[in-house]
Structure 1
Amino acid sequence: MRSTPGTSMTRRRFLATSAGVAAAATGGTLLSGCAGSVSSGKSGGKGTVTIMANGTELGSPADIKVAEKALGFKLTMVKYDLTRLTAMLTAGSPPDIVRGQGAVDAPYLAAHGVAQDLDDYFAKSSILKLSDLDPVNDVWRYDGTTQGKGPRYGMAKDYSQDNMIWYNTELFDKAGVEYPSDTVPLTYDEVFDKAEHLAQSGKNAKVYGMSFSGNTANFMTMISSLGGNLFNDDFSAVDYSTPEGLKALTWYLKLARSGVAPTIANPDPNGWDWPTYQAGRMAIATDGYWFGGSVNSDKKKSATSRFAPAPQFGSTRLSSCSGATGFWMPKAGKNKDAAWEAYEYFLGGAPAKTRAENGTGLPALKSLRTLLPQTKPFQKQAYAVQEKELPYFSVISFTPYSRLDALDAVINQVLPAAIKGTMSAGNLADQLNSGINRQLSNGKKLIK
């Protein structure tokens, strides 16, 4: 039986559960010597608020200085790192605000008792009004059984329907490949066929036909579109050997072995899609609306870029959000009131408005939606496509018994041999079931 969100979990247990990520990926543990290196302690007035985020997702160093002036207290920005976060939690000095992906993190954080219930803060806020929250924010709710109900443990900063695609018209024209429709989604087989015709290989340059990751989130979406479920009813086990699971693995192995997309076995040296797409070496980028922020930064590339609906794998049309990246506050944080002021500022103040205006994702507040860019031709086209895609928005509930990183680490261990060899989808399913279900079983034991 699942715990309620208020169930206490020792930092040791959080460390043990999170260690599954490192154990699967590197064989090590997550405890490191940086445990006490960053503190959210008071330094006079409202003290210092420590925020763990990725790069400049909340702004440049200059933007952070502006935020400090507006808020009236110091902000310490720490790069997001699970190892460091776990060490800081273990040492009793966590950051005050931490990034997370609501779609896959909220059940875990709530069930393990490490995230602060923010309902009282939201109820009193004049900036982050409950009536103004986009429905996507419900992924940050969890009542001990159901994601989307119960207390709020975080909020998205922005979001996308993550399997929608951007494509390079110049590469399509050169290859004589017809553009995708603005309204009718391609099937997965159709997008793969286009990718095969678009891909190029050679000594000096390689053009990928498309990008598509073999990960838990994508497999969940594929299986759901066929009417199946990856997880069992209580999220304590997965089954990739169902007819729907085998069909998803079969399609992915075909794609990965063709060489038209980067994979864990043959990775893109750039590490992510934008540099490759910008260089004209990726014809289709499976990245969602947020990718338009990068497209907007390159005048030449924006002139040859278009947006299209998420391809469909089965008979059920769905366009999933597997991230809803945002922020949560650790229950053990020592400066919560000041942290909430920073939370309001970054998620509902000037930075949130700027993100909406730049098109770096759909805003998490309904009142900011009118700020989405529609000046350039590619922006108008992308906005129109996105508006017609919204009715097919979906979020697929995730397990409270493991972090996504740990499940993906198992996939990343198994996939390279499967891609490079002749392993059947059935054998791949068996290996995934064995490794992931062991991870889930161990995680379930840690929730009392």
Structure 2
Amino acid sequence: MHPRAGASLSRRRFLALSAAGAATGAATLSGCAMRVSTGVGGSGETITVMVKPGEITPDDVKQAHKDLGIRIVLVKYDITKLIAMTTTGNPPDLVRGVGAIDAPYFAARDLMEDLDPYFARSTVLRPEDLDPVNDLWRYDGRTQGKGPRHGMAKDFSQDSMYWYNTSLFDRAGVEPPPETEPVTYEEWLEKARRLTRRKNGQTTVFGGSYNGLMKSSLLACLTAAAGGSLFTDDFTRVDFTAPEARKALDWYIGYCRNKVGPSPVQPDPNAWDGPTYQANRMAMSNSGYWLGGMIGTDRKLAEVSRLAPAPVFGGGPRISPCQGGTGLWMPKKARNKDAAWRVFEWFFGEAPAKARASGGWGIPTLKSLRPLMPARQEYQKRALEVQNAELKHYSVISFTPYASADALDALFNQIAPAAMTGGMSVDTLAGRLDSAMNEQLKRGKEQVG
């Protein structure tokens, strides 16, 4: 066991980790993993689960108690509260996280339980049944996508895909994109420009929205689509002046300057694409398969909506990553691991997982649950065919463990708007982003050690 196991955090490390709540770097907690039990019991016990509202509902809590005999106490997700609970030695038993960006960050700080021994013994979550998207939750101390599993995604989408409204294309006289072959990012932007409608200086129809889930992960994925990597091989630096990253940055700034869709300098009053797309005020929405759950609630909209493959850059590889992969992880210092694992199995492989799979709000992360995806209606069949064909283009785009995505996004949102409005060249922006983000990554590397 580590000699400092159970000891309190040093002041420097505690302050560094606490700063994560203010979108800065974080550090490791000392401690060693508890022994993994071979049991999967837990009936009559209580576990604490930290999630965002709606991710586990009061009905889920009742159902878990009925099915498993385990009482779930929900705690609202809050990074500051998570840190406080962890540093006092009483962390939640399960915590929500976004696999694409959180897994390397928390794993590098030695906060996450290695779940491989649990998966190896499970009859519910069998490793051979896990969709490759769950590799987002793997981290070997250096690279995301390899090594032990630290969590699992509840469902997912390939977030570079997009939906489009054929009626708005018809109205604008613009040829819709093919459903089977990707357009280039340049073609996508040109279509968005032609589809945009303005009246009296106001945008009445957005030609297309393309913001990803977070700017840092979007730019990492765009850079990969251009054939490069936003981060250096050791993930300690970004280089926006490299040709591929520069191409990705130039494209996104061009998207913002053309004002074809929502951006930091032209925010959508609805705050996200869903209501705007539903109101026929957005011709294309960079939302993956999961948005079909909302689209399907409006039959007329569903019948004119199509799902399309992720665009490509000319000469770049065809990739279709997941920028989310939201799920749960187990803290190393969790006190009730066997009961927590039983809830983990239930949530990801039993009744709640089956209900999510049949709802169309995401792709199930167990391959055996894919037959439950909705395909009764013609529009559901069309979307599912496109989605199933896209699965073979999935790959993990590794994210740095040395800074939170929130921290990098805060820097981007502070520096980039001047370029989005034409007041700064993309070359100048690239240099300023490198300077600010690399300082952030340097601090994070020092804290992780």
> What TM-score comes out, normalization by structure 1 length?
0.89
* Equivalence for 2:288: 288
How far off is 1:20 after superposition? 4.8
How far off is 1:17 after superposition? 4.0
Whether the 8 Å contact between 1:15 and 1:90 is mirrored in structure 2 is no
Whether the 8 Å contact between 1:9 and 1:113 is mirrored in structure 2 is no
Counterparts in 2 of 1:321-336, with a 5 A limit? Answer: 321-336=322-337
Whether the 8 Å contact between 1:198 and 1:209 is mirrored in structure 2 is yes
* Equivalence for 2:236: 236
Distance 1:267 1:21 in 2: 24
Counterparts in 2 of 1:249-268, with a 5 A limit? Answer: 249-268=249-268
Distance 1:115 1:314 in 2: 40
Q: Give % identity.
A: 53
Q: CA 1:410 to 1:62, structure 2 compared with 1: closer, same or farther past 3 Å?
A: same
Distance 2:366 2:121 in 1: 16
Distance 2:294 2:198 in 1: 25
SS in 2 for 1:178: coil
* Equivalence for 1:37: none
* Equivalence for 1:446: 447
* Equivalence for 1:51: 49
How far off is 1:420 after superposition? 2.4
Q: CA 1:21 to 1:264, structure 2 compared with 1: closer, same or farther past 3 Å?
A: farther
Matched, 1:381 2:355: no
Distance 2:341 2:289 in 1: 28
How far off is 1:417 after superposition? 2.2
How far off is 1:147 after superposition? 2.1
Segments of structure 1 that go 5 or more residues without pairing to the other structure are 1-5, 30-43
Counterparts in 2 of 1:152-191, with a 5 A limit? Answer: 152-191=149-188
* Equivalence for 1:208: 206
Whether the 8 Å contact between 1:21 and 1:406 is mirrored in structure 2 is no
Distance 1:269 1:360 in 2: 23
* One-letter amino acid of the counterpart of residue 135, structure 2: D
Distance 2:80 2:390 in 1: 37
1:348-394 CA-to-partner distances (Å, cap 9, x unmatched) read 01110111111211111111011111111211111111121122111
How far off is 1:344 after superposition? 0.8
* Equivalence for 1:107: 104
How far off is 1:185 after superposition? 0.5
* Equivalence for 1:88: 85
Segments of structure 2 that go 5 or more residues without pairing to the other structure are 27-41
Distance 1:190 1:46 in 2: 58
Distance 1:305 1:168 in 2: 5
How far off is 1:179 after superposition? 1.3
* Equivalence for 2:38: none
Q: Out of 94-103 and 61-70, give the one that drifted further.
A: 61-70
* One-letter amino acid of the counterpart of residue 75, structure 1: I
Distance 2:273 2:77 in 1: 20
Q: CA 1:9 to 1:272, structure 2 compared with 1: closer, same or farther past 3 Å?
A: farther
How far off is 1:205 after superposition? 6.6
SS in 1 for 2:177: coil
* Equivalence for 2:397: 396
* One-letter amino acid of the counterpart of residue 55, structure 1: P
How far off is 1:10 after superposition? 4.1
Distance 1:258 1:313 in 2: 19
Distance 2:243 2:254 in 1: 17
Distance 2:167 2:64 in 1: 41
* Equivalence for 2:132: 135
* One-letter amino acid of the counterpart of residue 117, structure 1: D
Matched, 1:309 2:319: no
1:10-49 CA-to-partner distances (Å, cap 9, x unmatched) read 4863651451561569xxx9xxxxxxxxxxxxxx974322
Distance 1:273 1:71 in 2: 38
* Equivalence for 1:70: 67
Matched, 1:360 2:361: yes
* One-letter amino acid of the counterpart of residue 340, structure 2: A
* One-letter amino acid of the counterpart of residue 46, structure 2: T
* One-letter amino acid of the counterpart of residue 351, structure 1: P
Q: CA 1:446 to 1:201, structure 2 compared with 1: closer, same or farther past 3 Å?
A: same
Q: CA 1:24 to 1:198, structure 2 compared with 1: closer, same or farther past 3 Å?
A: farther
* Equivalence for 2:142: 145
Whether the 8 Å contact between 1:20 and 1:439 is mirrored in structure 2 is no
Distance 1:101 1:229 in 2: 20
Q: CA 1:10 to 1:139, structure 2 compared with 1: closer, same or farther past 3 Å?
A: farther
* One-letter amino acid of the counterpart of residue 240, structure 1: F
SS in 1 for 2:75: strand
* One-letter amino acid of the counterpart of residue 361, structure 1: G
Whether the 8 Å contact between 1:15 and 1:86 is mirrored in structure 2 is no
Q: CA 1:24 to 1:281, structure 2 compared with 1: closer, same or farther past 3 Å?
A: farther
1:274-293 CA-to-partner distances (Å, cap 9, x unmatched) read 11111111111101111111
Distance 1:266 1:87 in 2: 37
